Structure 1
């Protein structure tokens, strides 16, 4: 089952939750989405730092070089989804992306069999700001990832101009799973196309802090050992 696979490898999920949880509700929902197109022209300046360290018998040396890095380019975005239902968490819906827009077909009520269908209650004019924020963030990340070979990079100034294009409307299939444990409701969402599942899981605090303290002790011991060897 998808939820069991989702919990695999999660060390800090209480074992009793894995063993005793049960699904209280599963429902298939067609969630309304607005799909935004946009063209972006961006110019971003960065400060990049490269550090070199060495030592001799008497001293430790650190050489820090700063570089001015510039990126400029145009990016085309197509079908950036923003859910149009106030009943759905935007973060949760974004977490189960991507949706396959290329296989979209014209609306037909026959596709709704076995699913609930939500009508949008957040219109495109309200959703475009979130879309533009996602587009801006993606542009900044893409430009930043193109800068390699430095120890650190930070943005100094940027000019990002967006020209919004077509807006389309689509319904995407989502499975909503609800499970209750220790009087706490846990909700999971699964992409009905890809099967990707996301959701919050309970934390075994004892296991978490036990691991944290062990790691802290190991790191502290390693620091003291290195200090002793280098002294």
Structure 2
């Protein structure tokens, strides 16, 4: 942990070593901690917040709706213990990929000849190849942020990316990365590899069966951009348990953990199983 003096009231601010911007708990003024986002640590881009705290709370309320197994008391009894807008450090990867594959395709047709069912199978030598360009595939560079939450609130609209300026930071927390571009590259590589493989497989339709013989997929990572992207983090407590939500501060896409009312789940299954048992019993009596 590091300590700093608030430039407004002089109070001591205690932050972890990755915090680059915060709010003084005594006077409420935003503070940008010098040196944390400068030099080699300076981001290339920043994506400003579009949605404010009220929008984040409203989106959380909407998120509760339609959740059949959510305890009724959760909506009324849980309280937002903390809500904070955070500029999360992200690495945005560019890459070029090429793929080629060879497959055996089969189409089968069956028809009856007298007492026999005749099946004719045609075999095809299927070959596919192609290339793809990836631009700014995001991976968060903060070990404090849950990867599943950060992945789930994508996508971001990069059309609003701005050259980095500390002028966007006041009023929000901001962290610098503690996982560098090399450490995060494997996650980006795996996403690009899987996307390329899915695109290659999508071109092999039109056959009743397709069997891979060989595949070669290569992803060449060309560049990693460092950017701060806007995320609202909402922390709630209910029955002494913590529930964490993350919302895209640009689009409003929200994801989080919710409790499950086991009695409502049991009632739902009972509502399905009892009518089915009655129908089966009726059929057995016929």
Alignment: residue pair count: 226
Unaligned runs of 5+ in 1: none
Give the superposition deviation at 1:148: 4.2
* Aligned partner (choices 221, 236, 247) of residue 179 of structure 1: 236
Partner of 2:99: 42
* Aligned partner (choices 125, 128, 141) of residue 198 of structure 2: 141
Give the superposition deviation at 1:3: 0.8
Residues 220, 165 of structure 1: alpha-carbon distance in 2 compared, 3 angstrom cutoff: farther
Per-residue Cα deviation, 1:138-184 (whole angstroms, up to 9, x for no partner): 12223334444567767564211111112111000100000001111
Is the counterpart of residue 111 in structure 1 residue 172 in structure 2?
A: no
The within-5 A match list for 1:1-231 is: 1-45=58-102, 69-148=126-205, 157-216=214-273
My pick for the range that moved more, 65-74 or 93-102, is 65-74
What is the SS of the residue equivalent to 1:9?
coil
Residues 89, 79 of structure 1: alpha-carbon distance in 2 compared, 3 angstrom cutoff: same
Pair member with larger Rg:
2
Residues 65, 119 of structure 1: alpha-carbon distance in 2 compared, 3 angstrom cutoff: farther
Per-residue Cα deviation, 1:97-139 (whole angstroms, up to 9, x for no partner): 0112221111111100110000100000111111101111112
- Is the contact between residue 51 and residue 62 of structure 1 (CA under 8 Å) also seen in structure 2? no
Give the superposition deviation at 1:18: 1.9
TM-score (norm 2): 0.68
TM-score (norm 1): 0.82
Residues 106, 7 of structure 1: alpha-carbon distance in 2 compared, 3 angstrom cutoff: same
Per-residue Cα deviation, 1:58-115 (whole angstroms, up to 9, x for no partner): 9xx8979686654321111110011011101111101000112221111111100110
Cα separation, 1, equivalents of 2:173 and 2:158: 20
Residues 178, 151 of structure 1: alpha-carbon distance in 2 compared, 3 angstrom cutoff: farther
Give the superposition deviation at 1:51: 8.2
Residues 154, 11 of structure 1: alpha-carbon distance in 2 compared, 3 angstrom cutoff: farther
